[in-house]
Amino acid sequence: MKKNPSSTLPPGSTGQHEALQAKEEIFLAQERQNPESPYYQGNVDPAKQRRRFLLGSVAALGAGALARPAFAEAPPGAIEREVFPDPTKHQGVGVGVDDGGYGRRSQFETEVRWRYPTKTTESSWSMTPLASSMGIITPSGLHYERHHGGITTIDPAKHVLYVHGMVKEPKKYHMEAIRRFPMMSRICFLECSGNGLTEWIKPTLKSVQGTHGLTSTSEWTGVPLSTILDESVLKSGAKWLLAEGGDAAVMTRSIPIEKAMADCFLAYGQNGEAIRPEQGYPLRLVVPGYEGNMCIKWLRRLEVSDMPFMTREETSKYTDLLPDGTALQFSFTMEAKSVITYPSGEMLLQKPGFYEITGLAWSGHGLVKKVEVSVDGGKNWREAKLHGPILPMCHTRFTIPWEWDGKEAILQSRCIDETGYVQPTIGELIEKRGTNGPLASVYHLNGIQSWKVASTGEVTNVHHY
């Protein structure tokens, strides 16, 4: 690969970054006006309530419902309803009156994903709002997305998975047949290998959704891939597996057979229901701990071989640029990583005193063994509390108490996984990977994130190492 000495963003990327920064600023402008938001920039006043705007018109809610005033547009996934001063004096909304039988979230919850402003919506990605996450499970509607050819629509009754190549018995399966195999469920994280790609050279985005929002955790349900491959019986010498999606991009990745047989699985369920179309309905490959693009969505074909298939996604894309201009291929595993989600970028600490720092940690190599937190830019570290369940290749929630003295502070966290690997600083990664290319490296940024707390309580994204 030819070395690109430029350290400035190309015109296209600059425009995309600026557009994303603008979208982030719109989000922050709204949150700064909300007294219930950690991004609120005014003085905390318990008497203040979230502003809701009564439009004054009347709308019918459906058969059997009482007419009531209509409100401004509700957040996605919610219905805007009138809020009475004393709810004990009014009947609530009847069961199933206006949700169509599929529940809604509260009108007071506004978290949404952001789409990276690529030229087309079909080849783009969206980021999970980690700042407002609770526990480790990501709501399916907030799980990050990455698409190369849009979200395809597939009738599960017609969907077929083919297994062929270096197998003794080529097979094809309809979804009904796949669902008849013994099932399994597993909670694990997915992370785009480009998570944080804007942050290599300098802090670019302000909030944790912008810097780390390309990772999410779900409970996935399906069938072990080994079950399917055992049915076809691998031939001697089989070492690689090609997984191919049924989308317009025909996304393909090569996967080592050892990994495929060890813990990969075919998922048809996500968080207790059928996997969502944007996550690969009706069938998705899950490769725990590996970069997210290998979890092929809308899976339609598995081909076994004695060598990798050298597709576009492992030659032109998803390779790691090195200081000498060459590229490293097959860097599959997502290394140990963590990030403080509270307090994080653009939040405001109202006054000195007690705060509970919290965040998420994960490792593609297995269990998170320990998370350490520093409030003085890495001079001193304290061990955080890990909250269960602590599962391999899964987000792990951590917390640690902090008494802020009102002075400037640099908050950092670092993850240590069960292999003993310690999350590095961004500077240590740059020493190995250089700053080639317009974005320096693009993939696998797992460096320590730094949030600077000013004496005013304002929290900003900084590089500190």
- Amino acid 65: pLDDT: 33
The answer to whether the CB of 284 falls within 8 A of the CB of 146 is: no
- Hey, how many other C-beta atoms are within 10 angstroms of the C-beta on 59? 14
- Omega before residue 352 within 30° of 0, cis: no
Q: Return the pLDDT at 410.
A: 98
**Which pLDDT belongs to residue 72?**
61
Which among 407, 410, 408 is positioned nearest to 465, based on CA atoms? 410
CA distances to 72, 89, 92, 375 from 85, in Å:
19, 9, 13, 42
* Nearest CA among 185, 207, 196 for reference residue 133: 207
- The reply to whether omega before 392 is within 30° of 0 (cis) is no
286 touches 295 (CB < 8 A): yes
- The pTM is what? 0.88
Amino acid at 25: E
**Which residue bears the tokens 């025909």?**
250
Task: Give Cα 445 distance to the centre of its chain.
Answer: 14
Q: Comparing C-alpha atoms, which of 343, 372, 357, 360 is closest to residue 454?
A: 343
Q: Please give the pLDDT value at position 429.
A: 93
Query: Which residue has tokens 């937190």?
Result: 373
Average pLDDT per 10 consecutive residues for the chain, totaling 465 residues: 38 66 85 84 58 31 35 84 95 91 94 91 94 96 96 97 98 98 98 94 95 98 98 98 97 98 98 98 98 98 97 90 87 98 97 97 98 98 98 98 98 98 96 79 94 97 95
In which residue are the tokens 């804007």 written? 198
Q: How big is the CA angle at 352 (ends 347 and 356), to the nearest 5 degrees?
A: 60
Nearest to 295 by CA among 244, 230, 365: 244
The pLDDT score that the predictor gives to residue 45 is: 56
Q: What is the sign of the dihedral through the CA atoms of 168, 173, 179 and 184?
A: positive
The Cα 76–Cα 264 span in angstroms is 33
Nearest to 287 by CA among 397, 364, 369: 364
Q: Tell me the one-letter amino acid at 134.
A: M
User: What is the Cβ-side half-sphere exposure of residue 195, based on CA atoms within 13 angstroms?
Assistant: 29
